Structure 1
């Protein structure tokens, strides 16, 4: 079968399209014929050796797919630890979910961002109905999905933060009630969903009300958030909550899978449908990751084997 392989650490240029052996599932595993694979910023970090849950090279990137379960022919979506950029993949059966009512040509980019946004808002931040939520990078894959999930969970007002007028308009189309630029004044909020870090983190932090919460998914700016001291946070009565879905899965797979099922019900109900920006052929995985890293994309990017 065809698969994308990272032979060494580096940027997208290290990726190679190779012919490899078809995977064979073991106990508790499922082989999936891939229809679409989602492209995520974590894949870019994995290539650079900066994603803690990634295997060492050589490896095949890819953390989510849609496809058809081998043997049964059942349509499924799956969360992976690696291997999605391929024609077939082996997945832990606990993280393979029925996709009968979903469009497999879109759903390959849905599970990771939906589950991550749900965990951040529902489990980490404990969003209450009516609260105000600020989402940074609100036109990206995780950001735009976080806007949708926040509204689905009852947020009273969602503010999307994005770099350009076009991206702010995109965030509004995903359900944001307000869209602002990175240099604009930030209104008071109860919850922040931030994956940018650096100055954006500092700006968002200043907007958090007492008893508010910040969920940190990463630092796409390359600048890790400088979290204030215990005394500074106590004086403001706010919480800062770093989150990693990969690390949670590694430490408690059973609980992660159970909560993921709840998150994915948002897809089945139609309340959440992460936007797809573009689909690339599998052979153009490097181009897809280069585009993602350039910050020129909106929504999710997909690969088609």
Structure 2
């Protein structure tokens, strides 16, 4: 089969198209003919071995696929690695049927980005009716869905940040009440001003560095910041527990992998709700572009340069 293989860690230049033997599905696993693979920002960390889970070489990147099981069912699955290929193997517990009303793009958009947005709002910050929400990187895969979910679940004022005018327009179209540039000289003041002069209740943050620092300073009493990534690759300032007392602040971290350690099938509950909202037309995955297998390197370059919006997918047939 054709696949992308990494034999040394690094930037987009290490992604190489190659021919590999078909993977074999052992007990408890399923071989999937891949129709599309999801491209996530986490894949860029996986390629340089800077992700939360350490990688080993050689490596076929890509953690999510949608395609056909041997019995003909359309399925979407988390594979950990191996997704950038014509065929991939997934653990059966991490494989879910795709309803007929859900297309491949939507299925892939929900399994990581949609589930992440669902967990951030439901579990990490426990969004309450009428609360203000800041969604950083609001034109990205998680951000576009988080804006829509916050609106569907009764948030008050939704403030989006995005790095370009086109991305800010998209956030407004999806339901944000205000959209600002995160690169303004004083982001704390800009967030408070966008919220009508009031401090904000909730922040969803995946940038790191000064964006995290300034967002924390914009939180209202009992405000919550959920941190789920560090796209800038810059650490925020250390937070002393005593400083959390000044506004009764909560900081949460979220890594999707931990959902499988919760009691009950929380992932199934999330996907059921997400697919239902999508089928009803209340939630849509914004397509950010489709790349052929030979274009995987360019996809990573575009992601790292912040040239993309929405959900990116890889077509292994070309």
- Could you state the TM-score of these two structures normalised by the residue count of structure 1? 0.93
* Residue in structure 2 matched with residue 159 of structure 1 by the alignment: 159
Q: Note if contact 2:12-2:297 (Cα within 8 Å) is conserved in structure 1.
A: yes
Shift of 1:28: 2.1
Q: Which moved more, 1:149-158 or 1:280-289?
A: 149-158
* Residue in structure 2 matched with residue 110 of structure 1 by the alignment: 110
- After TM superposition, the structure 1 = structure 2 runs for residues 1-305 of structure 1, keeping only pairs within 5 Å, are 1-70=1-70, 72-99=71-98, 100-182=100-182, 183=184, 185-187=190-192, 188-249=199-260, 251=261, 255=265, 257-262=267-272, 264-265=274-275, 266-305=277-316
Q: Note if contact 1:15-1:286 (Cα within 8 Å) is conserved in structure 2.
A: yes
Instruction: Give the number of aligned pairs.
Output: 303
Shift of 1:154: 2.4
Shift of 1:227: 4.1
In structure 2, relative to structure 1, the CA distance for the partners of 1:238 and 1:55 (3 Å cut) is same
Cα offsets for 1:64-121 (capped at 9, x unmatched): 1211122x21112222211111111111222212212211255334321001111111
Q: Note if contact 2:105-2:287 (Cα within 8 Å) is conserved in structure 1.
A: no
Cα separation, 2, equivalents of 1:126 and 1:151: 14
Q: Secondary structure, in 3 states, of the residue corresponding to 1:81?
A: coil
In structure 2, relative to structure 1, the CA distance for the partners of 1:89 and 1:248 (3 Å cut) is same
Q: Note if contact 1:131-1:156 (Cα within 8 Å) is conserved in structure 2.
A: yes
Shift of 1:23: 1.7
Shift of 1:264: 3.7
Shift of 1:54: 4.5
Cα separation, 2, equivalents of 1:78 and 1:254: 18
Shift of 1:220: 0.7
Q: Which structure 2 segments of 5+ residues have no match?
A: 193-198
Cα separation, 1, equivalents of 2:254 and 2:32: 28
Q: Note if contact 2:223-2:247 (Cα within 8 Å) is conserved in structure 1.
A: no
Shift of 1:232: 0.5
Shift of 1:254: 6.1
In structure 2, relative to structure 1, the CA distance for the partners of 1:296 and 1:261 (3 Å cut) is closer
Q: Note if contact 2:259-2:267 (Cα within 8 Å) is conserved in structure 1.
A: no
Q: Which moved more, 1:148-157 or 1:251-260?
A: 251-260
In structure 2, relative to structure 1, the CA distance for the partners of 1:270 and 1:81 (3 Å cut) is farther
In structure 2, relative to structure 1, the CA distance for the partners of 1:54 and 1:144 (3 Å cut) is farther
* Residue in structure 1 matched with residue 195 of structure 2 by the alignment: none
Q: Secondary structure, in 3 states, of the residue corresponding to 2:191?
A: coil
Q: Note if contact 2:111-2:271 (Cα within 8 Å) is conserved in structure 1.
A: no
Q: Secondary structure, in 3 states, of the residue corresponding to 1:91?
A: strand
Cα separation, 2, equivalents of 1:22 and 1:207: 51
Cα offsets for 1:227-254 (capped at 9, x unmatched): 42111002210100111113554x5596
Q: Secondary structure, in 3 states, of the residue corresponding to 2:234?
A: coil
- Could you state the TM-score of these two structures normalised by the residue count of structure 2? 0.89
Q: Note if contact 1:114-1:263 (Cα within 8 Å) is conserved in structure 2.
A: no
Cα separation, 1, equivalents of 2:93 and 2:152: 25
